[in-house]
Amino acid sequence: MSELAEALAGLNEDYVTKIVQRKVTAGEDPECILAELRQGMDIVGARHKKGEYFLGELVFSGEIFKNAMKTIEPRLAKNQSGKEQVKLVLGTVKGDIHNIGKDIVGNLLKIAGFDVYDLGIDVPKNAFVKKLKETDAAILGMSGLLTPSFEAMKETVEALKTAGLRYKVKVIVGGGIVTELVRKHCGADAWTDDGIKGVEICRAWAQEMKK
Amino acid sequence: MLKETMTRKERIISAVNLKVPDRVPVAMWMIQFPLRYKGIPQSLGYKDPVVTIKALTDTFHDLGGYDGQIQGDSIWPSSSWRISAAPTPMHRPGQEGEENEALQAVEREIMTVEDYDKIIAKGWNGFCEEFLPRVTGRSLDKIDASQKKLLKVYVEDAKKWNGIDVPVMFGASTCDCQMILSLCRSFSKFTFDLYRIPDKVQAVMDAMVDDLIQNVINDSRATGIPWVFFPLERGSGAYYSLKIWERLGYPYLKRMVDAFVAEGLTTILHFDTDWTLNLPYLRDLPRTKCICELDSKTDIFKAKKILKDHMCIMGDVPASLLSLGTPEDVTAYCEKLIDVVGVGGGFILSTGCECPIDAKFENVKAMIDTAKNYACQIFPQ
Ligand code: B12
């Protein structure tokens, strides 16, 4: 494991900043730095799977990763990472203004390599449809923390059908009290009350799509 | 109907004391649901206490009654401006939101890292002298006057419940240090603080915990209701490691609960989200002085195994089941709870968190009726 990957996996923020600075100043290939950072994030993911790391460690490592990216991003070739990224539209549904969980899962998805279009909170069904059409995104992620949001999720899935998009867009619903009953009610493909599981589901879909 | 030989209060107290009551008691936390069910705009319900208490008690009767009213009305009673909670801005029905919409919190960073030093220097209440006016735009005098007015209404409403033999299980409230700071800093920022500056966070908690305790004691004396409602929603093992919990979560919880016990108070530990990993620690809290209230995310069956001879369990009919399920689904869920968690006593049937605004009436009724009709089919070992 590289020094940088290890520093990130160990949540050693200052050290990550130092190494990235050093590498950039030395003129190292930013692609290689990015690869090492990704390796660090993979280790974080593995530790989470083993029960050693929790949501907190994922959120914090995501922050360290994001800050490191600020340093190397301007030096990365423009289209490099965009090529293979699967597009995903995300938002909290109409009537619901909870953003915490959605923002976290949005960051986790970005780090996992998705091209995330976050429409924010209180998003009307037509705004979801419009964005899906515009971006040709393959996945729709809807967040909601309140029971009345289940109706808004259902209406959005209906709107996707009306717009002729449902067959090509995978839909996942998430939030603290979302269950299988909720998934069925709104006609989604998957559900989760855990952001990390949500990312895994989207990753599996992305892999299928690439086949 | 099962034969009833106890009053509602006796039934609840017996469950808290881990005895086997005549039947499983059922307690409700609901404000939004009765308003909607009675066709009253949410906005009016939160503004007009007379309308609210009528909607609550009418719904109680329509449901055929139940054993405990968790919160007497929509008020969080406090005897002064000193609150043991985060002044999180709210998206209120009829104000920021539509007339009939559910109340929602607007979480944003209302406290900076610099504020930590102020808490360390002045304690929580001292800090709030500056913090509350800054966040709410209202003077301390105004906040104080409004709290005192609301407290009077709350005490009157509690009397109305007692008048129909229903105990109110909420005489004061507090959040834990972790939850207050997480809501004030916002979830992500507070998480960063836990890793970047844990020593400072600990110093902040040390500086605030005694004020939180004193506020609760003052408030419970003012209402005369010996119950503390204690939401813990941001420190569970679903979010943070046990290492963090052992340092910044549990010690403060223990200190607070011990102080409440010394004051003769019973505490409802309102554990929303998944606390399964943290359950073993609860055995170290004083026996029969707290209720472990779950919202269906914690494994309630595991909770029973761990806490059965130590702490009463309350919960955990899921919000989505009450909103989307059928009465048959709800009945089956509650029967299982009564069988597995109700066995040997020490269980109060309730909704996970507040009963959802759009719960189906027949589902809520099915839940309450199950407690009244269904006897545990399992015998204690
Ligand atoms: C903290 C909290 C509060 C805080 C405010 C938090 C906030 N910003 O709104 C306070 C104390 C102010 C509060 C107040 C109330 N609350 Co509250 N609260 C919670 C709690 C415990 C956690 C929510 C939270 O902050 N989670 C933190 C983030 C990180 O988690 P998350 O949002 O679940 O997101 C994660 C996953 O779900 C997932 N995810 C989320 N979205 C998506 C989307 C996709 C696509 C994917 C893949 C994944 C994903 O990824 C995230 C990371 O893992 C939940 C309980 C619960 N089990 O969720 C209740 C809950 C939201 N509250 C509830 C209630 C009833 C209330 C009150 C009405 C109570 C009252 N009478 O005062 C008020 C006002 C309403 C409100 N919530 O705004 C209910 C709402 C359900 C309902 N009945 O409609 C809940 C669900 C509790 C329950 N079990 O019933 N609450």
Percentage of chain A with pLDDT > 70? Answer: 97
> Distance (Å) from the C-alpha of residue B263 to the closest C-alpha of chain A?
35
Read off the pLDDT of each residue in B116-134 and give the average, rounded to a whole number.
98
**Domain spans of chain A, in order of start:** 3-80, 87-209
Secondary structure (DSSP) of B105-143 = E-----S-HHHHHHHHHHHHHHHHHHHHHHHHS--HHHH
CA distance B187 to B332: 36
Please give the pLDDT value at position B114. 97
A146 Cβ below 6 A of ligand 1: yes
- Residue A63 with chain B: CB contacts under 8 Å: 188, 192
Ligand 1 center to residue A100 CA distance, Å?
9
Q: What pLDDT band is residue B42 in, cutting at 50, 70 and 90?
A: very high
Residue A93 backbone phi and psi in degrees, to 5:
-70, 165
Contact B359 A147 (CB under 8 A): yes
Residue nearest to atom 31 of ligand 1 (CA): A101
Q: Are B153 and B75 in contact (CB under 8 A)?
A: yes
Q: Give residues with Cβ within 8 angstroms of A48, minimum separation 6.
A: A54, A57, A58, A196
Residue A85 reports pLDDT greater than 90: no
Contact B192 A60 (CB under 8 A): yes
A9 touches chain B (CB under 8 A): no
Ligand 1 center to residue A145 CA distance, Å?
5
Given 3-state DSSP classes, what are the helix, strand and coil percentages for chain A, each rounded to the nearest 5? 60, 10, 30
CA distance A40 to B75: 48
Mutate one of B42, B108, B187, B355 to test the A interface: name it (highest A CB count within 10 A): B187
A100 Cβ below 6 A of ligand 1: yes
Q: What pLDDT band is residue A74 in, cutting at 50, 70 and 90?
A: confident
Q: Are B248 and B205 in contact (CB under 8 A)?
A: yes
A192 Cβ below 6 A of ligand 1: yes
- Residue B357 with chain A: CB contacts under 8 Å: 146-148
DSSP strand pairing (B90-91 vs B104-105): antiparallel
Complex ipTM:
0.93
Contact A54 B238 (CB under 8 A): yes
Read off the pLDDT of each residue in B182-195 and give the average, rounded to a whole number.
97
CA distance A81 to B80: 56
Residue A172 backbone phi and psi in degrees, to 5:
-125, 135
Which CATH architecture best describes the domain A87-209? 3-Layer(aba) Sandwich (3.40)
Among A60, A185, A194, whose Cβ lies nearest the Cβ of B191?
Answer: A60
Residue nearest to atom 77 of ligand 1 (CA): B104
Q: Are B46 and B92 in contact (CB under 8 A)?
A: yes
Ligand 1 center to residue B14 CA distance, Å?
32
B171 Cβ below 6 A of ligand 1: no
Among A59, A181, A193, whose Cβ lies nearest the Cβ of B324?
Answer: A181
Read off the pLDDT of each residue in B35-49 and give the average, rounded to a whole number.
91
Fold designation for A3-80: 1.10.1240
Read off the pLDDT of each residue in A168-179 and give the average, rounded to a whole number.
97
Contact B91 A97 (CB under 8 A): yes
Q: Which two tokens stand for residue B245?
A: 């919990």
Residue nearest to atom 68 of ligand 1 (CA): B103
Mutate one of A146, A193, A196 to test the B interface: name it (highest B CB count within 10 A): A146
Atom of ligand 1 nearest to the CA of A196: 53
pLDDT tens-digit readout, B262-310: 999 999 999 999 999 999 999 999 999 999 999 999 999 999 999 999 9
A17 touches chain B (CB under 8 A): no
Q: What pLDDT band is residue B381 in, cutting at 50, 70 and 90?
A: low
Contact B356 A54 (CB under 8 A): no
Of the candidates B53, B58, B39, the one whose C-alpha atom is nearest the C-alpha of residue B100 is: B39
B115 Cβ below 6 A of ligand 1: no
Residue among A99, A104, A111, A145 whose CB has most ligand 1 atoms within 8 A, to mutate: A145
Q: What pLDDT band is residue A83 in, cutting at 50, 70 and 90?
A: low
Q: Are B90 and B106 in contact (CB under 8 A)?
A: yes
> Distance (Å) from the C-alpha of residue A60 to the closest C-alpha of chain B?
6
Of the candidates B211, B195, B188, the one whose C-alpha atom is nearest the C-alpha of residue B119 is: B211
Q: Which two tokens stand for residue A104?
A: 């976290």
> Distance (Å) from the C-alpha of residue B58 to the closest C-alpha of chain A?
23
> Distance (Å) from the C-alpha of residue B329 to the closest C-alpha of chain A?
11
**Domain spans of chain B, in order of start:** 8-373
A139 strand-pairing partners: A88, A170
Q: Give residues with Cβ within 8 angstroms of B61, minimum separation 6.
A: none
Q: Give residues with Cβ within 8 angstroms of B288, minimum separation 6.
A: B16, B17, B18, B310, B311, B312
Among A53, A98, A147, whose Cβ lies nearest the Cβ of B358?
Answer: A147
Ligand 1 center to residue A97 CA distance, Å?
11
Please give the pLDDT value at position A77. 73
Residue B241 backbone phi and psi in degrees, to 5:
-70, 160
Q: Which helix (H) or strand (E) holds A118?
A: strand A115-118
- Residue A177 with chain B: CB contacts under 8 Å: 295-296, 318-320, 352
Catalytic residue numbers of A? 96, 98, 149
A194 Cβ below 6 A of ligand 1: yes
Mean pLDDT in chain B?
96
| Identity of the amino acid at A45 | G
Residue A84 reports pLDDT greater than 80: no
pLDDT tens-digit readout, B327-358: 999 999 999 999 999 999 999 999 999 999 99
The residue of chain B nearest to residue A59, with distances taken between CA atoms, is B188
Q: What pLDDT band is residue B96 in, cutting at 50, 70 and 90?
A: confident
Q: Out of A74-88, A107-121, B184-198, which region has the weakest mean confidence (pLDDT)?
A: A74-88
pLDDT tens-digit readout, B145-169: 999 999 999 999 999 999 999 999 9
CATH class of B8-373: alpha beta
CA distance B288 to B367: 25
Residue nearest to atom 12 of ligand 1 (CA): B105
CA distance A34 to A118: 23
pLDDT tens-digit readout, A5-49: 999 999 999 999 999 999 999 999 999 999 999 999 999 999 999
Please give the pLDDT value at position A73. 85
Percentage of chain B with pLDDT > 70? Answer: 99
DSSP strand pairing (B68-69 vs B90-91): unpaired
Residue B247 reports pLDDT greater than 60: yes
